[in-house]
């Protein structure tokens, strides 16, 4: 193993490679405070004030950095893991459910007094609590109170645990430890104390660090390329932190407690010698509540360009003490013998050890806030949003200034290049990547694949994010990934803005010039410096419609696209530039902004006939776009060029609505809609169709097919009445009779390419009376009430209350029987339908009446045996349903129903049979029937409708009825005595696209 070179000069007197805590020589209080409040997690809130609870107030640093503003927006460090290399972290209620240990078997850290008593080391607990203690209503809570903690005993441990930390999911590694600096002594060998109460430490200079690291940095870099050995050496910490930073861990280091005149020493100085790890390092100094360095805190010094200041004075956090469970002493032997227990509590400490975990916790909050950012970018956001302290700008005392989480959640404050760093504080080789690359990859993308930090970008910020800060600096921005980034600030950074993928919306201002190419899209209604839209790039100004202002020149290259949104109020996207415009080709596409629901409006402004101003240039327009094309089927566009302006004329093209319709119903609606006036909401909604499929969806939704469905179902179900009367006539005797029959039927029509299917049901009761008027003739009357319900496509629904009146009769001559009747039915119908296509939606209702008239007859010849009979039969029926006119209630797509008659001429040939037997005093009979039904006229049922009174009418057809169908029935009767008969039965019809089933039960009383 490599050995450290023997050092000469002051560094050999200053640096002792024993690791000490950076908590300061003077902890202000070691008093453990027990839990005094019951644990209860408060509800989420949306205002910062709601987060300023007593638990929050116990840790003054939270308010100082504005943590409550992050909490109010939902950012708490959830699911981020913070690594802590420190003393052993002892289990504490504040860490319940969130603490994992790399080496739980490692013993506690403790100190031994001259009398043999021991004091447990709670520094690790205190540090971990500042970063991530739970928010549970007790004591205090950490900055990232929903983050996880991964702990490893690093101090006082001969086994180096850093490689396990590096290979873990921890994205942050907190280091609240450092190296002791020699205290100056007087001639008698006593430590010298300064007037401020701190020891007089020897002064450390940059040259001391250089003298120490320059000879060995090459060796350290080489060793950091391999896993860190568990065997501790003089260089274990250096190698560990170099390796961790190169694995994209964010290394947070306490600056040290060597007084304000001193600078960081040891590991915190590594980025000076290895600039490639610079971006993943943060050094933190200790602030008082008055925003000054605590007297014990080391200044940033030469680390200023990666140094922050954060509250670290008199910080209240998790701690505790050892107590005896046997009543004995608090000794090392008692600890080894299991006679001591840890009593958890809280305590105050001061030092950069406390400032570092406050920063680590803030970094965890930002990693939740910006899940797509790298560790180095998180560090940049923390640095560039810090509150400036001391001398203006970056300085050697405070570095970037005080940690400001409130500002950090709004994005970077600067895109940094070497020009932004004072010359005396600049570290050679740093800030060479002058573009801040923002990769918003979309929800579900895998970030840092193949590394321990591999994760799924699962939050909405992965697809859409907004930065509100005013971004300065000499650097630039590169937007990649499919997501959308919104810039709202007054941004003065001077580097280029490159939009290579996804959306960049500028709603604030940019000094920078913007280049859009590859798969990038620029939008927004703000101001930019200059604009070039290259091949593959798209300009889409506004947020919906809006104007993008350009201070200098604009250029469109071949393969570029200018996407213009227009609306019905005469507004459009536009570019206005104070410079000149050069058009080297490129295309213009036109689309409708804010697809509003037109159907709820009486009238809308038409797109046709409008001219929009889409580009103005103070210094003139040179060249032309290659093409202009609307994204719509039925709209035509034309560009009108003037010296300083381009206009977009919009009109109706020659494509007829019917040309894209595929079915008869669609063509009927398309024809009628195309004859509506410009400005009619139905016409305008179809005019805005972007595809043939979208237009066809509109036609299908607008048909009003429910009215044809109702007509078809009522016409089909008229058979229930005539079948009941025919059945009664076959059972007539020489006695007077009263009868009652209940019925229920279910009808299903299967959809076709032209019409959607439906399901219908009917139930009710029929009552009749008949008597023989001679030995051959029987006459009767009947009436009843039924209710039908129909459910169609797209949540369309119809209900009909049906009132029936009929007369019937039979002529029996031997085995030959002629039966027949006529009936009239009144229907009171309520219908409801919904329309939904694109952004269009509405609900319509109608109440109207209809009547059904039917005439039917049957001829049968009975063949009888002892208890069995058979009857071949033929029957004929004519049914006519007339639907009366109506006006729908609803918006602009409400229909006017015209009077329409549908009829059916049917014949049926079949055979029925019956069998009966005596059971005691009763007689049981079973009857069955089968036949073939044929319709002579067209089986199509339809409604006649129009969009406006007096407007072009169109026909909406339902599923065609069956031309030929099979019919069957099965029934049973129980004659209890000569006066009373009970009956029950089933009948069914099956044809192409139609199935109908019904059941009935009845009673007859003869007298």
DSSP state for residue 644 in the 8-state scheme: T
Catalytic-role residue among 64, 92, 106, 123: 123
To the query of whether residue 775 is one of the catalytic residues in this protein, the response is: no
Q: List Cα–Cα distances, 48 to 66, 74, 75, 465, 662, in angstroms.
A: 9, 11, 12, 21, 58
Q: Which alpha helices (DSSP H) does 396-498 contain, by range? A: 405-408
At 670, give phi and psi (nearest 5°).
Answer: -60, -40
How many C-beta neighbours within 10 Å does residue 862 have? 17
Give the integer Cα–Cα distance in Å for 196 and 244: 38
What are the residues whose beta carbons fall under 8 Å from the beta carbon of 977, sequence distance 6 or more?
921, 922
Q: Is 324 a catalytic residue?
A: no
- 870 three-class SS: strand
Q: Are strands 868-883 and 863-864 parallel, antiparallel or unpaired?
A: antiparallel
- Which one of 64, 162, 176, 353 is the catalytic residue? 353
> Which of 367, 332, 324 is CA-nearest to residue 453?
367
Calpha distance 562→587 (Å, rounded):
6
Q: Which of 298, 355, 363 is nearest to 59 (CA)?
A: 355
Q: Is 545 helix (H, G, I), strand (E, B) or coil?
A: coil
Helices of type H across 397-469: 405-408
Q: Which two tokens stand for residue 324?
A: 């005896």
Q: In a 10 Å sphere around its CB, with 0-12 CB exposed, 13-18 middle and 19+ buried, how is residue 43 labelled?
A: exposed
The percent of the chain in helix, strand and coil, each rounded to the nearest 5, is 20, 40, 40
The C-alpha atoms of residue 51 and residue 365 are separated, in whole angstroms, by 15
Burial pattern 106-145, b for ≥16 Cβ within 10 A else e, equals bebbbeeeeeeebebbbbbbbbbbbbbbbbbbbbbbbbbb
Query: What is the sign, positive or negative, of the torsion defined by CA atoms of 161, 162, 164, 170?
Result: positive
| Contact status, residue 130 vs residue 357, Cβ threshold 8 Å | yes
DSSP-assigned states of every residue in 767-804: EEEEEESSSSEEEEEEEEEEEEEEE-GGG-EEEEEEEE
Cα–Cα dist 855/807, whole Å: 10
Q: In what order do the strands lie in the sheet with 896-897?
A: 886-887, 896-897, 942-946, 953-957
**Is 433 designated active site?**
no
Encode 297-317 in three state secondary structure: CCCCHHHHHHEEEEECCCEEE
d(CA 161, CA 101): 11
Q: CA dihedral defined by 676, 679, 680, 684, rounded to 10 degrees? A: 90
Closest residue by Cα to residue 700 from 756, 655, 751? 756
DSSP annotation of 95 reads G
Rounded CA-CA distance 150/364 in Å is 13
Other beta carbons within 10 angstroms of residue 959's beta carbon come to 26
The 8-class DSSP code of residue 28 comes to S
CA distance 176 to 431: 26
Among candidate residues 86, 238, 557, 709, the one labeled active-site is 86
- Is residue 46 packed enough to be buried (19+ CB in 10 Å), middle (13-18) or exposed (0-12)? exposed
Which residues are known to be catalytic? 86, 123, 353
């Amino acid at each position: 193993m490599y050995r450290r070179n023997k050092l000469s000069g002051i560094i050999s007197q200053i640096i002792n490679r024993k690791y000490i805590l950076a908590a300061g020589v003077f902890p202000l209080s070691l008093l453990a405070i027990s839990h005094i409040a019951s644990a209860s997690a408060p509800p989420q809130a949306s205002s910062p004030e709601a987060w300023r609870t007593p638990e929050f107030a116990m840790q003054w640093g939270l308010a100082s950095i504005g943590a409550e503003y992050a909490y109010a927006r939902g950012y708490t460090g959830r699911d981020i893991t913070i690594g802590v290399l420190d003393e052993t972290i002892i289990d504490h209620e504040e860490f319940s459910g969130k603490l994992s240990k790399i080496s739980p078997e490692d013993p506690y850290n403790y100190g031994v007094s001259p009398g043999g008593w021991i004091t447990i080391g709670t520094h690790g607990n205190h540090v971990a609590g500042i970063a991530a203690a739970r928010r549970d209503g007790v004591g205090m809570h950490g900055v990232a109170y929903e983050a996880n903690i991964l702990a490893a005993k690093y101090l006082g441990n001969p086994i180096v645990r850093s490689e396990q930390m590096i290979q873990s999911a921890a994205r942050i590694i907190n280091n609240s430890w450092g190296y002791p600096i020699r205290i100056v002594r007087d001639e008698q060998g006593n430590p010298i104390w300064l007037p401020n109460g701190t020891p007089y430490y020897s002064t450390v200079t940059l040259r001391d660090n250089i003298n120490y690291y320059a000879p060995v940095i090459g060796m350290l870099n080489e060793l950091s390329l391999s896993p860190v050995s568990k065997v501790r050496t003089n260089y274990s910490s250096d190698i560990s932190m170099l390796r961790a930073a190169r694995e994209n861990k964010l290394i947070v280091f306490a600056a040290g407690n060597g007084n304000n005149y001193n600078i960081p020493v040891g590991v915190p100085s590594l980025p000076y010698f290895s600039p490639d790890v610079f971006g993943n390092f943060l050094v933190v100094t200790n602030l008082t509540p008055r925003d000054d360095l605590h007297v014990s805190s080391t200044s940033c010094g030469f680390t200023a360009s990666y140094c922050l200041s954060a509250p670290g004075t008199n910080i209240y956090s998790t701690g505790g003490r050892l107590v005896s469970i046997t009543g004995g002493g608090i000794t090392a032997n008692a600890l080894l013998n299991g006679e001591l227990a840890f009593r958890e509590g809280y305590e105050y400490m001061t030092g950069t050890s406390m400032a570092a975990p406050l920063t680590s916790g803030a970094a965890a909050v930002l990693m939740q806030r910006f899940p797509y950012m790298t560790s180095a970018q998180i560090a940049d956001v923390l640095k560039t949003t810090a509150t400036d302290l001391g001398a203006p700008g970056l300085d050697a005392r405070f570095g970037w200034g005080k940690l400001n989480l409130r500002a950090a959640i709004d994005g970077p404050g600067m895109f940094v290049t070497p020009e932004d760093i004072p010359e005396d504080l600049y570290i050679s080789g740093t800030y060479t990547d002058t573009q801040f690359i923002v990769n918003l990859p979309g929800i579900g993308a895998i970030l840092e694949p193949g590394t321990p930090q591999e994760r799924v970008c699962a939050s909405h910020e992965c697809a859409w994010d907004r930065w509100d800060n005013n971004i300065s600096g000499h650097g630039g921005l590169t937007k990649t990934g499919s997501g959308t980034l919104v810039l709202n600030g007054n941004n003065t950074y001077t580097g280029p803005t490159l939009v290579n993928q996804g959306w960049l919306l500028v709603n604030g201002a940019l000094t920078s010039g913007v280049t859009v190419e590859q798969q990038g899209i620029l939008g927004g209604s703000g101001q930019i410096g200059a604009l070039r839209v290259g091949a593959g790039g798209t300009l889409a100004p506004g947020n919906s419609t809006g104007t993008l202002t350009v201070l200098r020149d604009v250029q469109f290259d071949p393969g570029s696209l200018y996407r213009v949104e227009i609306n019905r109020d005469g507004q459009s996207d536009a570019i206005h530039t104070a410079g000149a415009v050069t058009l080297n080709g490129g295309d213009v596409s036109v689309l409708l902004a804010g697809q509003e629901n037109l159907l709820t409006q009486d009238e809308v402004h038409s797109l046709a006939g409008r001219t929009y101003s889409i580009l103005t240039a103070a210094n003139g327009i040179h060249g032309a776009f290659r093409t202009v094309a609307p994204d719509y089927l039925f709209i035509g566009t034309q560009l009108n060029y003037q010296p300083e302006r381009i206009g977009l004329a919009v009109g109706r093209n020659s494509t007829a609505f019917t040309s894209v319709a595929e079915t008869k119903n669609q063509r009927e609606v398309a024809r009628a809609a195309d004859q509506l006036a410009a400005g009619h909401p139905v016409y305008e909604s179809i005019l805005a169709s972007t595809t043939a499929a979208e237009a066809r969806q509109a036609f299908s939704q607008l048909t009003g097919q429910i009215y044809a469905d109702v007509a078809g179902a009522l016409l089909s179900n008229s058979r229930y009445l005539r079948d009941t009367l025919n059945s009664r006539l076959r059972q007539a005797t020489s006695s007077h009779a009263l009868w009652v029959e209940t019925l229920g039927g279910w009808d299903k029509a299967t959809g076709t390419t032209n019409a959607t299917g439906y399901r219908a049901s009917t139930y009710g009761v029929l009552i009749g009376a008949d008597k023989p008027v001679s030995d051959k003739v029987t006459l009767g009357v009947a009436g009843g009430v039924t209710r039908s319900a129909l459910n169609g496509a797209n949540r369309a629904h119809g209900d009909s209350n049906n009132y029936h009146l009929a007369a019937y009769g039979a002529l029996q001559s031997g085995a030959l029987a002629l039966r027949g009747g006529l009936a009239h039915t009144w229907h009171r119908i309520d219908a409801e339908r919904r329309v939904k296509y694109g952004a269009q939606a509405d609900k319509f209702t109608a109440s109207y009446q209809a009547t059904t008239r039917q005439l039917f007859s049957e001829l049968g010849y009975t063949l009888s045996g002892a208890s069995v009979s058979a009857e071949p039969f033929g029957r004929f029926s004519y049914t006519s349903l007339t639907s009366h006119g109506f006006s729908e209630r609803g918006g602009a797509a409400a229909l006017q129903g015209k009077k329409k008659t549908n009829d059916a001429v049917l014949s049926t040939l079949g055979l029925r049979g019956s069998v009966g037997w005596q059971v005691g005093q009763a007689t049981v009979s079973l009857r069955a029937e089968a036949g073939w039904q044929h319709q002579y006229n067209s089986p199509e049922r339809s409604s006649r409708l129009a969009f406006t009174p007096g407007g072009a009418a169109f026909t909406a057809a339902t599923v065609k009825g069956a031309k030929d169908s099979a019919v069957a029935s099965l029934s049973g009767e129980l004659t209890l005595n000569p006066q009373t008969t009970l009956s029950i039965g089933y009948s069914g019809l099956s044809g192409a696209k139609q199935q109908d089933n019904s059941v009935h039960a009845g009673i007859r009383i003869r007298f």
